[in-house]
Structure 1
Amino acid sequence: MRDRLLMCGVIAGPLFLATVLVQALTREGFDVTRHPLSLLSLGNAGWVQIANFTVTGALYVACAAGLRRALRPGRAGTWGPPLIGVLGVGLVMGGVFLTDAGAGFPPGAPAGAPEITWHGALHGAGAMVAFTGMSAGCLVFARRFAALRRWGWVTACAATAVAVLALSSWPDPEGMSVRLLLASAILFGFVAALAVRVTRGLPDAPAHRRTVARRKSPVLRT
């Protein structure tokens, strides 16, 4: 059961990105270079992207449950899985709370920037929750890999966090949609790689093993 939950984190990213790509190529009037991906949730075919957000988010929540089973007790076992769960919750928020129409999409929408509604604001908050929470999660997992002296993984964790935060918070609005798509691909790829690594077995940190050994060792009394 644990490994099945972890595999949810492997399939979630490709499922999301493939669904977005198909829609970007087939939805009339959509231009990925200037339209936010969230606009795909609007219009007659908007249910596809709504389902994409929601299903992908649920898969990451399931992956978080699998990681919790695999990593506790131990470093990153307490905070790492919930932060991956936060990624899932942010995506579900993106499906439940729709963004506001604008930039000429869907066809007939105003050409300029949209007027932000309460549900549009919550949609944007979901993206912020997802990117920020999982970036913090990368640093939590870096701590565990550092204790294991897996320096390649430490580098990957740190590089993922920096890249995602830089791409998602870049102030220039031009090309923002492409940057967010790239940030999503990096983040999803990291979670997939982490899930596969954990299914193969992730040893605990030496310090933690010594602590557990001391707790289990009998106390000699004289």
Structure 2
Amino acid sequence: MTATPTARPTATSVRDPRTRLLLSGSVAAVGVFGVVSLTQAATREGFDLTRFPLSALSNGDLGWVQITNFVVSGVLAVAGAVGLHRVMRGTPGGTWAPRLVAVWGIGLILSGPFVLQGGGGFPVGDPGVPGMTVGTIGHLVVGTVAFAALIASCFVLGRHYARSGERGMALGSRASGSAFLVGDLYSMAGGPAGALVLAITALTAMAWVGVVAHVELRR
């Protein structure tokens, strides 16, 4: 059976400058987080993206840069979620997709103060703290919820676009969510270069939400 396209809401909310500004948050979030994180990964002494997650950059003398990056990117992601809510109201997935993106954004914000402990050679000279710190536990809990929310948001967006007859957007949404899910499980299983795979797939899913916001901006 072929899905019956669902009528989209009017473009009035998209023409609202406030809505357009909010949607731009999702586009900016991936740019800010990706550029700041990958720049640090390439320049900070002792950091190896095949061994350490991007969250480890919150350690050391320059850790404040990544902490700030988490918070700023999270605020932008939440703003984007509000924009998505405005333009997706009344459509399949129009309630839960923005909510899940908001959870992802809040997770980024909370990942700032909950610092994943160092060790294993980064930061250089840091032997690490035996056991798990409060910051590490908090970061892992918040990260787990945030990752699940971002993955779920991609699949909900896939349903949304499938119901509206936009097959390309539906496929992109589902592919991004699937890639991140596989990357997360691969990293958790301790696969070779798991941190690199996780970073690539997480940024892919995050970038897709930015693509969705950009598409809605151009309608």
**Band of TM-score, shorter chain:** 0.7 to 0.9
Aligned length: 200
Instruction: Give the whole-Å Cα distance in 2 for the aligned partners of 1:158 and 1:22.
Output: 29
> Could you tell me the TM-score, scaled by structure 1's length?
0.85
Describe the SS at the equivalent of 1:188: helix
Question: Offset at 1:85?
Answer: 0.5
Query: Which residue identity lines up with residue 81 of structure 1 in the other structure?
Result: P
Residue aligning to 1:116: 132
Shift of 1:173: 4.6
CA distance in 1 between counterparts of 2:216 and 2:159 reads 15
Q: How far did 1:26 drift?
A: 2.0
Which runs of at least 4 in structure 1 moved beyond 4 Å after TM superposition? Answer: none
Equivalent residue, structure 2, for 1:42: 59
Letter in 2 for 1:183: T
What's the CA shift string for 1:126-150, capped at 9, x where partnerless?
Answer: 2222221111111211222111111
Shift of 1:188: 1.8
Aligned partner of 2:148 in structure 1 is 132
Paired residue for 2:174, among 146, 149, 158? 158
Structure 2 residue runs of 5 or longer lacking an equivalent are 1-17
- 1:96 counterpart residue number: 113
Structure 1 window deviating more from structure 2 (49-58 vs 28-37): it is 28-37
Q: 1:102–1:114: 8 Å Cα contact kept in structure 2? A: no
Q: Distance in 1 between matches of 2:107 and 2:130?
A: 21
Larger RCO, structures 1/2 (Cα 8 Å, 6+ apart)? 2
Among the aligned pairs, what percent are the same residue?
38
CA change 1:114–1:29 in 2 (3 A) is farther
Q: 1:189 aligns with which of 207, 215, 219?
A: 207
Kindly tell me: are residues 26 and 114 of structure 1, through their superposed partners in 2, closer, same or farther at Cα, counting changes over 3 Å?
A: farther
Cα distance in 2 for residues equivalent to 1:156 and 1:58: 25
1:177 — aligned with what? 195
| Rg larger for | 1
**Counterpart residue number, 1:147:** 163
Measured after TM superposition, the shift of residue 174 of structure 1 is: 3.2
Contact 1:101 1:114 in 2 (8 A): no
TM-score (norm 2): 0.86
> Aligned-pair RMSD on alpha carbons?
1.6
Alignment partner of 1:96: what SS? coil
Stretches of structure 1 that go unaligned for 5 or more consecutive residues are 202-222
Superposed CA deviations along residues 78-123 of structure 1, whole A, max 9, x for unmatched, are 1110100011111112112001111111122227x96212220111
Q: Between 3-12 and 114-123, report the one with greater CA deviation.
A: 114-123
Q: Could you tell me whether the CA contact under 8 Å between 2:154 and 2:205 is conserved in 1? A: no
